[in-house]
Structure 1
Amino acid sequence: MLVVDLDLSGRGAVETARHALAPHRRAGTPSLFLLRDSSAHCLMQANALGARETLPADAPPALLLDTVGAMLGLMGEAGEGARIERHFVAASAALADLLDAAGSGGRLPITAINDSIEALNRAADGGDLNAWLDMVWRHDDATYQHCLLVSGIAAAFAQRLGFREADRRLITGAAVLHDVGKARIPLDILHKPGRLTAAEWEVVQRHPQIGHDMLVAEGGFDPMVLAVALSHHEHLDGSGYPHGLRGAQIPDPVRMITICDIYAALIERRAYKQPMPPEEAYAVLVEMQGKLDRDLVRVFGDVVLAGSIARLGRYRASAPGRGVGKVA
Structure 2
Amino acid sequence: MVQQSSQISLAAQTEFQHFGLRLDQVIADLFPDYSRSKLKEWILAGNVTVNGEVCKVPRQKMTGDESIEIEAEITQQVANAPQKIELDIVYEDDSILVINKPADLVVHPGAGNQDGTLLNALLAHVPGIDKVPRAGIVHRLDKDTTGLMIVAKTLPAQTHLVEQLQSRVMSREYEALAFGTMIAGGIVDAPIGRHATKRTHMAVREFGKPAVTHYRVIEKFRAHTHLRLKLETGRTHQIRVHMAYIKHPLVGDPVYGGRWRLPKGASEEFADTLRNFKRQALHAAQLSLYHPETDEWMTWQAPLPEDMVSLIESTREDTKQFGLDEL
Normalization by structure 1: what TM-score?
Answer: 0.30
Larger Rg: 2
Q: Which one has a larger percent helix, Structure 1 or Structure 2? A: 1
Q: Which has the higher strand share?
A: 2
- After TM superposition, the score normalised by the length of structure 2 is 0.30
